Amino acid sequence: MGAGVRRLGAILIPLLAPAGAAGQLAPVGVPAGVFRFEADGFFETWEERYNDGDTEPLGASLTSPALGVALLPTLADAEARIRSASGLPAFQLNLGDLTTDAHADRGFANLGGSLGLTRSVTIFGRMPLVRSRIQYQLDLAGTGANVGLNPGTSTQDGFFQEFQGALTTLSDRIAAGTYDGDPALRAAADAALAEGTALRDDLFLLLADPEQAAAFVPAAGSEAGTAIGSRVGTLQSTLAGPLGVTGFSAAPFLPATATEGDLEALLTDPSGPIGLRTGQSLISFRGDAEAGVAITLADRWDPRGRRGGLRAAIEGLVRFPTGNRARTDRLLALGTGDGQTDVEVRATVDVGSGNLGVRFEGGYNRQLAGDIVARVAPPGQPFPGQDLLAELRLDPGDVTTLAVRPFFRIARTLAIIGTLEQQSHGEDEVSYRDAAGAIPGVDAAVLAEGTDASATVAGIGLTYSNPGALRPGGRGLPVDAGWSYERVVRASGGFVPNVHRLRARLRVYVGVF
């Protein structure tokens, strides 16, 4: 055991040994002629989100006690046809009780470097590698369901053959004058033919039209199913009774209530109205690369062996759209980039005395406009149809960040650091790329709903910084490292992921000229 401790000490002592002018927090800039290799990143996970300041499950938008047209607007035509065929003007389509359990996680690994050109000027570049994953489970219970998956147009062939045969016979009898001797009977025959033709047309459009049949139709035993059966039965009794038209006794075939498999079939049919891919969404790709310049305005940190002092720097960078936006055919999808160019400026000021200090940070990110392809639907419609896919012009809201990071030195190069950060995101502006591609009756601005939001992030961690031989009289390995845990503790405005995040950082300095 003693030998193990000695070996551990031999490793740690050079790293923790006081340097002549060691800076506790990692400096923004790099000394002239020095290259800093940077490897840092974070892993974040969340199962909840903030919606106007209140937390809700991540899958809240995919949850409904009565799944219908509100979440599945592509079924609006089916609902209208069922109302017409059943004679129930207030009918509301209901697939059942839908609940969704969702989980998201994302990891960034940033690889890059900074090169000190002069004592004050540093240039840098970084390329992130990103892994984004969404997992969720759709659970559809039959509670309250009143529709089921259409059993298929050919299933109704026998019913419509008998129906059409009875109407043809009735029409022929009317034309032959069969009922002319009794005006009341003739009026009943004319009424039966008109009503029967309208009912046949409504039911065919709902159940059996090869091009327009509804994906979901009234379930057997439901109110609408019973009403349809009653209308058909009344017509059959009238035809077979005083009008003398027999041979029509079949009933339309109606399904059982919808199942999870039926919902899956509706959502995933590539030739259907929605055409989404369900299940886990996993993507690993590069993120949005960035490059910029940092200027050190003041560096009087730990002067002549005293702890504390002042250090200040500003940065300007451009972030390029080298990543991938979230896919349009996935639920709750995450991408690896934003899809447009950013121009960002940041300022950092370190102030300290003795073992105590604080870092102040401020940033403004001007997110430039870019062209995207997306389904134009508000957040409350998580299953938008393929007919809503359009080319758009997106101008994301700008992002402002203010942070305070107090720290306490355990040793000259090692400290505990806290984080309190406020992030504000302005509202996006979305429009159609050109008038010819606009979707009639659909405002592209609905995609901006919930984008105006603010969040407060708190965290704690450890930070190590030792410039070693890069400073006169210094010794030890020139390295910066750190670890921290952060989470969103408060949010307001639109939608904000309730994130738990782990960060890590390692930076090694090498003299190059």
Q: What is the pLDDT of residue 15?
A: 32
**41 strand-pairing partners:** 109, 504
Tell me the C-alpha distance between 410 and 307, whole Å: 12
Under 8 Å between Cβ of 71 and 383? yes
What are the C-alpha distances in Å from 289 to residues 113, 294, 322, 324, 492? 12, 16, 6, 12, 29
Under 8 Å between Cβ of 358 and 418? no
Q: What is the pLDDT of residue 507?
A: 93
CA angle 370, 375, 379 (to 5 degrees): 100
- Dihedral (C-alpha) 378, 382, 387, 392: value to the nearest 10 degrees? 50
Structurally, at CATH architecture level, domain 2-62+110-140+280-511 sits in Beta Barrel (2.40)
Tell me the domain boundaries of the chain.
2-62+110-140+280-511, 64-97+152-257
Q: What's the alpha-carbon Rg for the chain, to the nearest Å?
A: 34
Give a three-class secondary structure readout of 44-85.
EEECEEEECCEEEECCHHHCECCCCCCCCHHHHHHHHHHHHH
Under 8 Å between Cβ of 189 and 243? yes
Under 8 Å between Cβ of 287 and 196? no
Q: Which residue in 273, 382, 407, 395 sits closest to 338, CA to CA?
A: 395
Tell me the C-alpha distance between 103 and 106, whole Å: 11
Q: Which helix (H) or strand (E) holds 152?
A: none
Under 8 Å between Cβ of 480 and 26? yes
Q: Which residue in 204, 201, 170, 174 sits closest to 186, CA to CA?
A: 174
Residues in the chain where the model's pLDDT stays below 50: 1-23
Q: What is the pLDDT of residue 44?
A: 98
